[in-house]
Chains A and B, each alone.
Chain A
């Protein structure tokens, strides 16, 4: 079983559209949407939810007003600015759940034991069926944290399903950036496919994300989306990537069919199978398969 994680550094380079198409090309993969705070893969794959559960990643503090003596200890100790003070009357202290880091310091040191510190529900996660295979996905609650833990949960569930059903591939739709949820998405993966675009931003962000996967020693492959929009930049990107040990897996032409497919809620390889983007995505998948299977022989 191989787990392939699609990330990009920069957002909006086409991760989800690509994963949706790869889902249709891989023979019954397990799909995992790890962009848990702006998940979109479900919009194309239309999962039918089979199992759903609450996710709790940490604790949150809250003040029981009737017990509070307004001593201000919590306000003084909280380093995250989560305790706010209303000074209009006798000071009234409240904790903003969206700012609470879940450290528990306020609750521990409250002289009146007036601060609850309880597990909070940060979102929900789902196991679903799609046309192309089982899918694990999640929805982080509004303005919630712990996205890294949620990503780890989604990946571990996807792995369990792949093992149980003896499926060959797990395709992970990763989040943008290089921070906590990205690190949680890539650590221990078999391969990372980095999708970029030929712009100065795409190039800059690719360099940082490549450094990240090197830091974690994960084999990385490159896919340039809309590569024909700026051939010169595309070639520069390829050269730089190769110099950093990243192999080229594919080039996808700019193609309005991709947006058309998204509006039709279909992977582009299914919506317009002979479109330029669909052809290029098929070639990319063939390359990835070849590379991964060769690596196995070695």
Chain B
């Protein structure tokens, strides 16, 4: 059976090692002979390119549809302002004002307009860059600075990455809309945590989110530390979640990270951990 898997790497808390795990896992996938894709869905602060160093071959903008009002056709009935839940279009005395950065692009105003006075134009919110990183299909989104709405761009990154038989999705931190946009529909989620109270509290929130979405997943303990590891093990036992890998807290790994090197190639022993993690994920996600 040909493999066709999408694995998301998430965490709840930021800075636990999502990008490290997903980029290095992509290296393991290539070595294992998979047609692998890496999707950086942390469009607010994408970092995967700093490690995978892709050759970008294709750049294109992503936008959301916002209304354009034809003043001549407009009868000033105000129906557009009534349907809009985001105060993005408002009738004020004898004119209709639009606020593009409030608009979610639902299309309600143009549908409801009885005079057919509302058309739509694309308002750019960011770009997608695609390329190749040593055999890995690389795709990331970059949200424009000052732009509040990341989910449409995240969805576009996911859509752009529909090829490859093993897709690894690097998820933004947190547990709300951007995270949901990044993980919806994936086959399996790896939750990267560190064995600290903050890491585990946010891991708990991420586990709640996965349960709500009905997506299976397991935990990767990053920067595992003999002094505090029991905290993570106790927590995972209580929550009934499996630990698929433990990555030791090594200075060499932190150094590689700090200069943008992939630990997979730079740190002896790291390759083995990632290869085993890949095997475990495939087993768990398919089984």
Contacts and interface: CB of A to CB of B under 8 A. Distances in A.
A105 B145 contact: no
B256 to A, nearest CB: 10
A103 B175 contact: no
Given A98-B180, A102-B85, A180-B149, A263 B175 contact: no
B106 A103 contact: yes
B176 A208 contact: no
B138 to A, nearest CB: 16
Given A99-B184, A105-B83, A143-B180, A265 B197 contact: yes
Contacts of A70: none
Nearest to B178: A179
Contacts of B19: 201
B104 A101 contact: yes
Contacts of B12: 38
Interface in A168-213: 175-184, 198-201, 204-205, 208-209, 211-212
A170 B270 CA distance: 44
Contacts of A263: 196-197, 228, 231
A208 B85 CA distance: 30
Nearest to A117: B85
Interface residues of A, number: 63
Nearest to B12: A38
Contact of B13 (A40, A102, A147, A148): A40
Contact of A179 (B108, B143, B197, B228): B143
A183 B148 contact: yes
Contacts of B112: 108
B176 A144 contact: yes
Interface string B135-171: 0000000010111111000000000000000000000
A249 B84 CA distance: 44
B107 A208 contact: no
Interface in A254-268: 259, 262-263, 265
Interface residues of B, number: 58
Contacts of A162: none
Contacts of A148: 148
A181 B151 CA distance: 13
A105 B109 CA distance: 9
Interface in B92-114: 104-108, 111-112
B209 A77 contact: no
Interface stretch (B200-208, B238-246, B273-281): B200-208
A133 B199 CA distance: 25
B202 A40 contact: yes
A143 to B, nearest CB: 4
Contacts of A130: none
B57 interface: no
B143 A178 contact: yes
A289 interface: no
Contacts of B105: 79
A247 B184 CA distance: 41
Contacts of A35: 174
A143 B175 contact: yes
B174 A201 contact: no
A10 B47 contact: yes
A233 interface: yes
User: Chain A CB within 10 Å — which of B107, B177, B225, B231 has the most?
Assistant: B177
A177 B44 contact: yes
A245 interface: no
A13 interface: yes
B176 A11 contact: no
A204 to B, nearest CB: 6
B260 interface: yes
A2 interface: no
Given A98-B213, A101-B104, A104-B108, A175 B50 contact: no
A262 B197 contact: yes
B257 interface: yes
The 5 A-B pairs at the shortest CB distance, nearest first, are namely A11-B14, A12-B15, A103-B106, A177-B44, A180-B148
Interface of B: 12-16, 19, 42, 44-45, 47, 50, 83, 85-86, 104-108, 111-112, 143, 145-150, 172-180, 184, 196-198, 201-202, 205, 208-209, 211-213, 225, 228, 231, 254-255, 257-260
Given A38-B205, A104-B106, 19 more contacts: A9-B44, A11-B14, A36-B176, A38-B175, A40-B197, A43-B201, A98-B184, A103-B85, A109-B111, A142-B205, A176-B15, A176-B173, A176-B174, A177-B178, A182-B44, A201-B47, A205-B45, A229-B258, A262-B198
27 contacts: A10-B14, A11-B173, A12-B173, A13-B15, A38-B13, A77-B111, A98-B180, A103-B104, A104-B106, A105-B111, A108-B83, A176-B174, A177-B44, A177-B174, A177-B178, A179-B143, A180-B149, A200-B47, A201-B257, A205-B45, A209-B45, A212-B145, A215-B145, A229-B254, A230-B255, A259-B196, A265-B197
